[in-house]
């Protein structure tokens, strides 16, 4: 280890996995940042950023089990998904889904996830108990949404202008609704009575009766709507207008837009969090998430995330005991460079205080390859270097930094 007081770089917590066990129990909001390859974690109660999951290669979407124990992250570019444990940097499974794997929803009981493969026109069924793809259903592929009882999955298809319904027990599909041009994302109301389908190129949404697929209303919204989420009382639907820099609030009794909330930075996704009566957006042009107070229908706060936020989700609504002690990172870490690794790779840490550190390199199965450092490190700047053994096989390796209950994971590729 060498100290380097002259090293200057842009340090970021965006390439860490860090957590504190006392912080679990809060409702967490997760924002996927596509160009910084990470996920920002926000405490839904006070809008504070409490952690970051990383790295993920250009995540497209994400969803979590209700208890937050598992998450599913999709990657449209590779047609894959990863099942992760947010508290364990080694506990993840990579799965092949289909071309354009993007939208994802988790069943209400947390046992299944459904991934829409937009380019393939299919839905992948993921078993979250065995962490495996157990089926592929033909139809739909763009947006996915599930009924509150978990019995029916709905998936839109932009090319055919249809919504397909699947019996989740049998996988049997039915053409549920037709004539919905440019059908993208969709959502089911919490009472299961309505489905709202976003039509981005039409600048409108279509409200369907969930009992028979009939159209209840077609409602103009803002420019290039992309995502929708229902409020807990089912009286409103909130729609992000990405090119319009706004969120449309739809009154579902009057079937009209009752309010338009300005949200800068191209909001592209939205999630209503019932326990705090808020909605959170992902704003891909601004690198932020906007917290919206649903009582006043106004912006509460803009929260700094990573670069190009693409999706937002939440978990933890089932918890009752909330510990207000938040995760406070005691370090800043730079990206390993060079990466991919040629003969060696180096990263720098700035410690706010003296810490006992343990730094090791692990392969993709979690086997320890080499210890880089173990011991006390004073406050200040430190530089660490890994020189991989030439006999190591090519592949992805994880540099794990640990101090107490705090972890950081830095992923490097050995060609």
Residue of 191, 181, 221, 189 lying closest to 205 (CA atoms): 221
CA dihedral 252, 314, 311, 232 (to 10 degrees): 0
CA dihedral 323, 18, 112, 45 (to 10 degrees): 40
Both tokens of residue 191?
A: 């009472």
Q: Give dist(CA 409, CA 336) in Å, integer.
A: 11
Do 310 and 287 meet the contact criterion of CB atoms below 8 Å apart? no
**3-state SS, residue 355:** strand
For the entire predicted model, the pTM comes to 0.74
Do 162 and 177 meet the contact criterion of CB atoms below 8 Å apart? yes
**Does the N-terminal peptide bond of residue 215 adopt cis geometry, omega within 30 degrees of 0?**
no
pLDDT of residue 320: 26
Do 408 and 28 meet the contact criterion of CB atoms below 8 Å apart? no
pLDDT of residue 241: 97
Both tokens of residue 79?
A: 């047609």
**Domains defined for the chain, CATH in brackets:** 2-7+329-414 (2.60.40.1930), 24-315 (2.130.10.10)
pLDDT of residue 316: 65
Do 224 and 242 meet the contact criterion of CB atoms below 8 Å apart? yes
Do 57 and 68 meet the contact criterion of CB atoms below 8 Å apart? no
- Residue 361 forms beta bridges with which residues? 370, 399
**3-state SS, residue 147:** coil
Handedness of CA 333, 32, 400, 20 (dihedral sign): positive
Do 146 and 167 meet the contact criterion of CB atoms below 8 Å apart? no
Instruction: Give how far Cα 266 sits from Cα of 57, 240, 246, 256, Å.
Output: 22, 8, 8, 22
Please list the ranges in the chain whose pLDDT falls under 50.
1-25, 317-328
pLDDT of residue 90: 65
pLDDT of residue 144: 98
Q: Give, as one character, the DSSP assignment of residue 361.
A: E
What confidence tens digit (pLDDT) does each residue in 107-142 have? 988 999 999 999 999 999 999 999 999 999 999 999
């Amino acid at each position: 280890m060498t100290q380097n007081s002259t090293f200057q770089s842009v340090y970021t917590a965006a390439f860490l996995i860090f957590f504190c066990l006392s912080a679990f129990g809060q409702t967490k909001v997760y924002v996927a940042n596509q160009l910084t390859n990470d996920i920002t974690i926000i405490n839904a109660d006070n809008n504070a950023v409490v952690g970051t999951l990383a790295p993920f290669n250009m995540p497209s979407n994400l969803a979590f089990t209700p208890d937050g124990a598992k998450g599913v992250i999709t990657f449209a570019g590779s047609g894959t998904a990863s099942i992760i444990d947010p508290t364990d940097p080694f506990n993840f499974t990579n799965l092949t889904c289909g071309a354009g794997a993007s939208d994802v929803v988790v069943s209400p009981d947390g046992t299944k996830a459904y991934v829409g493969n937009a380019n393939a026109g299919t839905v992948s069924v993921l078993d979250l108990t065995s962490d495996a793809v157990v089926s592929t259903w033909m139809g739909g592929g763009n947006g996915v949404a599930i009924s509150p009882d978990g019995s029916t999955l709905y998936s839109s298809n932009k090319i055919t202008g249809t919504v397909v319904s699947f019996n989740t027990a049998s996988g049997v599909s039915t053409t549920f609704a037709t004539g919905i041009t440019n059908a993208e994302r969709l959502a089911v109301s919490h009472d299961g009575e309505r489905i709202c389908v976003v039509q981005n190129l039409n600048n409108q949404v279509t409200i369907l009766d969930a009992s028979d697929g009939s159209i209840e209303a077609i409602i103009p919204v803002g420019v290039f709507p992309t995502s929708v989420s229902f409020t807990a009382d089912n009286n409103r639907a909130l729609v992000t207008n990405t090119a319009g820099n706004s969120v449309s609030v739809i009154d579902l009794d009057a079937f009209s837009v009752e309010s338009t909330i300005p949200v800068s930075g191209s909001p592209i996704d939205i999630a209503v969090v019932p326990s705090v009566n808020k909605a959170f957006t992902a704003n891909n042009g601004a690198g932020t998430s906007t917290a919206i107070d649903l009582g006043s229908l106004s912006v509460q706060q803009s929260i700094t995330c990573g670069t190009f936020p693409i999706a937002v989700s939440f978990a933890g609504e089932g918890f009752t005991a909330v510990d207000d002690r938040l995760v406070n990172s005691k370090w800043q870490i730079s990206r390993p460079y060079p990466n991919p690794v040629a003969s060696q790779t180096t990263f720098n840490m700035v410690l706010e205080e003296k810490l006992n550190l343990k730094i090791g390199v692990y392969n993709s199965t979690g086997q320890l390859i080499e210890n880089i450092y173990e011991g006390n490190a004073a406050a200040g700047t430190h530089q660490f270097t890994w020189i991989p053994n030439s006999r190591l096989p090519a592949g992805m390796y994880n540099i794990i930094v640990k101090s107490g209950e705090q972890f950081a994971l830095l992923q490097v590729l050995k060609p």
